[in-house]
Amino acid sequence: MALDLSAIVARHHGDPSRLVQILHEVMASEGYISPPVITDLARALGVSRGQVEGVVGFYAFFSSEFRGRFTVLFSDNITDELAGSRELREHMLSTFEVAPGQVTRDGLVSVGTTSCTGLCDQGPALLVNGRAIARLSRATIGAISALIRGNTPVEQWPSNFFTIESHLERKDLLLATLLAPGEAIDAAVSRGASATLAEIANSGLRGRGGAGFSTGAKWAACAAAPGPERYIVCNADEGEPGTFKDRELLTHYAGLLFEGMAVAAFAVGASKGLLYLRAEYAFLVEPLLLLLSERRKAGLLGKDIRAVHGFDFDIELHLGAGAYVCGEESALLESLEGKRGIPRNRPPYPVTHGYKQKPTVVNNVETLIAAAMVARHGAQFLRAAGTAKSPGTKVLSVSGDVARPGVYEYPFGTSVQQVLSDAGATDTQAVQVGGPSGTLLANGELQRRIAFEDVPTAGAFMVFNGTRDMLSVVDNFTRFFAHESCGFCTPCRVGTTLNARLMARIRSGTGSRRDAKDIARVSQIMKTTSHCGLGVTAGNPVLDALAKFRPAFDRQLRSLDVLPTFDLDEALAPAREASGRDDQGAHLDNEGA
């Protein structure tokens, strides 16, 4: 069907802050966003062409170039890699005789990678035209290739291809307690806004995104900020490789999440909520919209909620577009406003200058669900579990070398070993807790505890057994950060790229001790000088691995103390190609270099 840009723009009321959503519709219709469409869109929205172009260029799921009638993106996450995604991708590339990321000459298909699809418990996985397919095998890749060859629209593919399994393996305090729709809202209303703020503060609830900031303090600061307009934003953009708990929470507990958002709105005096959902979870859009509409009909959203005069609140859904940095709250707000997801300078903080510069509460899915439970059952609900500094429970996404990957809920204070035993891990060499930006634990540290005061985590738990090459794990993480750096500040832009190159050299056996020193130095520099959390934490896996798996590095390093970072032999590759020579004599002896 021909692109009807005016209809799309009209559907979004010509609002430039809807730009990311508008671009999703253009991509769905055309498969790319052509330069003339960019021009027309800028005119229709009354913004500069450069602004639209900048947004198109920023997000991985948008493209100003045609990517083929079928765009296949394999998850590049380490757990998918360990499950064989690289081999399956190679197989598909050779089937279509196309280079990675290139479009076949007939414009049929391109085959590339994306950082993580949030299906680490059922990988390898891929996205085809934005739709997720999990549990890939040689056979399914053959079937997918045949459908693509036959030019069969994705909508007509067998529906079982797109089945996402639910792996909710362990429920505790939060997920085992059921609430009827409206129960938490009613409790908040009868308690009153100030008392609800106090209850949240007294519960000791801390943000479940990893940093652990007090939710009560955040809500109170937003409520106290001047001005009549406030917002509640739910960050459902969990892009950290190894994290998929929001997928389960949004599938089974979305009602509780919306309840938590309404409680927050009542407590701080907000009338609008925004749910920012990562684009990889596009399959959740329909059920979420349906649930929102049911809640409107039930009087749990809209005007005068629960017959409370002036309690007006509704929730809008926004889809991200494949930028990991948008998990950072200020970058997420920029994205919600239809801009590139560049993290803002802080202060000021979102509680006073958030969405559209208005006071805004930004919490993640798990935090808002916990807040709903506190509103219903009181502060003691959370205090009944966990530790003094970390009350309540944590929902974990467990993947990698375990018999039962999936989502597990535990009281804070639970040991890493307990989680591993329950998930069926044996011969564990290392656990990456909190995703690539988190903490790499070696075998001797498994008695440490999941808690803000010991091992804090946003929820990812990737397990590697004794057969795994830890350098390939770190190599994957450094590539991830190089790919996801937004490029705004120099330490992170240059540092993540340098780290990826140095790590590739070390892993390939051509790195020197000097390279190991350099990669540690670059990681430290990023930690202290980067603009946002992505750059600050990008060197963590390198530093942890150097400290805990040094022998693995030493086995790969050249014995010479200093080797030039510049690889002269590699630089001579074009000359070899031009001369048609690739024999031993056409290579430099690197040992002697």
Full DSSP string of 123-167:
-S-EEETTEEE-S--HHHHHHHHHHHHTT--GGGS-GGGG-----
Binding of residue 189 to ligand SF4 (CB under 6 A): no
Rounded least distance, CB 324 to ligand SF4, Å: 8
Stretch (H or E) spanning 382: helix 380-383
Among 18, 208, 353, 493, contact with ligand SF4 (rule: CB under 6 A): 493
CA distance 108 to 551: 47
Rounded least distance, CB 60 to ligand SF4, Å: 14
Binding of residue 498 to ligand SF4 (CB under 6 A): no
Binding of residue 436 to ligand SF4 (CB under 6 A): no
Rounded least distance, CB 333 to ligand SF4, Å: 14
Residue 175 or 486: which CB sits closer to ligand SF4?
A: 486
- With CB under 6 A as the contact rule, which of the stretches 156-164, 315-323, 380-388, 529-537 interacts with ligand SF4? 529-537
Rounded least distance, CB 490 to ligand SF4, Å: 8
Residue 83 or 323: which CB sits closer to ligand SF4?
A: 323
Question: Quick check: 230 and 268 in contact, CB under 8 A?
Answer: yes
Rounded least distance, CB 213 to ligand SF4, Å: 19
Question: Quick check: 157 and 146 in contact, CB under 8 A?
Answer: no
Binding of residue 343 to ligand SF4 (CB under 6 A): yes
Residue 18 or 493: which CB sits closer to ligand SF4?
A: 493
- With CB under 6 A as the contact rule, which of the stretches 29-37, 459-467, 487-495, 503-511 interacts with ligand SF4? 487-495
Residue 62 or 553: which CB sits closer to ligand SF4?
A: 62
Residue 250 or 502: which CB sits closer to ligand SF4?
A: 502
Residue 196 or 243: which CB sits closer to ligand SF4?
A: 243
Rounded least distance, CB 155 to ligand SF4, Å: 36
Rounded least distance, CB 354 to ligand SF4, Å: 18
Cα distances (angstroms) measured from residue 525 to each of 9, 176, 291, 542: 44, 44, 46, 13
Residue 520 or 525: which CB sits closer to ligand SF4?
A: 525
Helix axes 365-377 and 193-203, enclosed angle (nearest 10):
110
Q: Which amino acid is at 529?
A: T
Rounded least distance, CB 487 to ligand SF4, Å: 5
In DSSP terms, 450 is beta-bridged to: 455
Rounded least distance, CB 535 to ligand SF4, Å: 3
Binding of residue 532 to ligand SF4 (CB under 6 A): yes
- Of the candidates 455, 538, 462, which has an alpha carbon nearest to the alpha carbon of residue 495? 538
58: phi > 0 → left, psi -120 to 50 → alpha, else beta; which? alpha
- With CB under 6 A as the contact rule, which of the stretches 70-78, 122-130, 227-235, 526-534 interacts with ligand SF4? 526-534
Stretch (H or E) spanning 347: none
Question: Quick check: 463 and 424 in contact, CB under 8 A?
Answer: no
Residue listed under structure tokens 């505790």: 172
Residue 79 or 540: which CB sits closer to ligand SF4?
A: 540
Rounded least distance, CB 541 to ligand SF4, Å: 15
CA distance 462 to 284: 24
Considering only residues 269 to 328 of the shown chain, the ones binding ligand SF4 according to CB under 6 A are 325
Question: Quick check: 436 and 540 in contact, CB under 8 A?
Answer: yes
CA distance 96 to 106: 11
Rounded least distance, CB 515 to ligand SF4, Å: 22
**Nearest 5°: phi and psi at 69?**
-65, -25
Residues in contact with 199: Cβ distance below 8 Å, sequence separation at least 6, in sequence order: 191, 374, 375, 378, 379
CA distance 193 to 343: 31
Strands 131-133 and 126-128: antiparallel
Rounded least distance, CB 534 to ligand SF4, Å: 4
- With CB under 6 A as the contact rule, which of the stretches 223-231, 416-424, 480-488, 557-565 interacts with ligand SF4? 480-488
Among 320, 535, 539, 541, contact with ligand SF4 (rule: CB under 6 A): 535
Residue listed under structure tokens 């510049």: 566
Strands 231-236 and 168-170: unpaired
Query: If you count them, how many residues does the chain have?
Result: 593
CA distance 188 to 197: 9
Among 436, 531, 539, 545, contact with ligand SF4 (rule: CB under 6 A): 531
Cα distances (angstroms) measured from residue 444 to each of 441, 452, 543: 8, 20, 17
Among 122, 330, 360, 485, contact with ligand SF4 (rule: CB under 6 A): 485
Cα dihedral sign for 12, 15, 21, 26? positive
- With CB under 6 A as the contact rule, which of the stretches 207-215, 440-448, 486-494, 555-563 interacts with ligand SF4? 486-494
- With CB under 6 A as the contact rule, which of the stretches 68-76, 132-140, 396-404, 528-536 interacts with ligand SF4? 528-536
Binding of residue 523 to ligand SF4 (CB under 6 A): no
Rounded least distance, CB 332 to ligand SF4, Å: 13
Residues in contact with 13: Cβ distance below 8 Å, sequence separation at least 6, in sequence order: none
- With CB under 6 A as the contact rule, which of the stretches 139-147, 200-208, 452-460, 527-535 interacts with ligand SF4? 527-535
Rounded least distance, CB 530 to ligand SF4, Å: 4
Q: What would you report as the CA-atom Rg of the chain, rounded to the nearest whole angstrom?
A: 25
Among 256, 425, 534, 542, contact with ligand SF4 (rule: CB under 6 A): 534
- Of the candidates 467, 531, 470, which has an alpha carbon nearest to the alpha carbon of residue 506? 470
Q: Total residues at the site for ligand SF4 (CB under 6 A)?
A: 14
Among 26, 375, 486, 542, contact with ligand SF4 (rule: CB under 6 A): 486
CA distance 37 to 3: 9
Binding of residue 437 to ligand SF4 (CB under 6 A): no
Contact map string, positions 322 to 341, toward ligand SF4, x by CB under 6 A: ---x----------------
Cα distances (angstroms) measured from residue 489 to each of 59, 224, 331, 343, 381: 17, 33, 14, 10, 43
The residue number with the shortest CB distance to ligand SF4 is 535
In DSSP terms, 430 is beta-bridged to: 442, 464
CA distance 413 to 474: 27
Rounded least distance, CB 100 to ligand SF4, Å: 24
Binding site residues, ligand SF4, CB under 6 A: 325, 343, 485-489, 492-493, 530-532, 534-535
